[in-house]
Amino acid sequence: MANPTAALAGVPAGIQASGLWIGRRQLFVRFAAEAETATMYTAEALANELGRLVGRSTYHSISVSGRDPLSNMAFLCAVFEGNGSALPVMLDCDGQRPDAIAGVREFVALVQVTLDGSPADATVERGVESLRNAGAGGVGHALVLAPDDSTTDGQLLRAISQVHVGAPQAAVVIHPPSDAVEKDRRWLTFMEQAAALHADTRLLLRLPRPSGMR
């Protein structure tokens, strides 16, 4: 397909709320979920739109995220072939398509695998494989864990251990519940254990997401 299409939830500008590039001003290419209002873009139209937006303001990077972005491989490759925007591209995904990572390594600067709640070991394992595949191509890579109140320290430490063994150059970012750090000294002990397992582990609070962005 010479000019593939995809359903996107717009191309908004905003501040990255989580992960390794938290706080950076980005353009967001978000694949629409079933319940979201979507706009159909051709790859050529999106590439032109990104170029236009970059020419009008200053951004750190482009974030590609949303519903299963790696299922739209042909579209992404067509959009970023040559990367006319000249901005670094971050792929934020759930890491469950590790074999697809090789296809995006030419135009992605950072692969970020984000796992919410208490992911199963098998889910983490596939995420780590995605990170390993990114690292093999010289691409920056990070695991982002966003636990909820039911997530145990043991589950988090097990995930960090899997990263250290499978993708030792990866950064690990932990986003605790928003008020947990100031109320619970548990995180001081947790970070001591986490850093002993994997030195590049960071504890950061998520920023609020702009209205209309999830």
Question: What residue ranges define each of the domains in the chain, with the CATH number in brackets?
Answer: 5-203 (3.20.20.70)
* pTM greater than 0.85 (yes/no): yes
Does residue 25 carry a pLDDT above 90?
yes
Residues 6+ apart with CB under 8 A from 18: 114, 144, 146, 173, 175, 204, 206, 207
> Considering the chain, what is the average pLDDT of its residues?
92
DSSP code, position 207: P
H helix or E strand, kind and range, residue 45: helix 43-56
Residues 6+ apart with CB under 8 A from 78: 3, 4, 43, 44, 47
pLDDT tens track for 49-104: 999 999 999 999 999 999 899 999 999 999 998 666 789 999 999 999 999 999 99
pLDDT tens track for 143-181: 999 999 899 999 999 999 999 999 999 999 999 987 666
Residue type for position 87: L
Map residue 17 onto helix, strand or coil: coil
For residues 104 and 213, what is the distance between their CA atoms, to the nearest angstrom? 24
For residues 6 and 45, what is the distance between their CA atoms, to the nearest angstrom? 11
**Among 144, 9, 142, 147, residue whose Cα is nearest residue 67:** 9
Query: Residue 142 in contact with residue 173, Cβ under 8 Å?
Result: yes
Query: Residue 22 in contact with residue 54, Cβ under 8 Å?
Result: no
Q: How confident is the model at residue 21 (pLDDT cuts 50, 70, 90)?
A: very high
**Structure-token pair, residue 155:** 């589950």
Residue type for position 139: V
Residue type for position 28: F
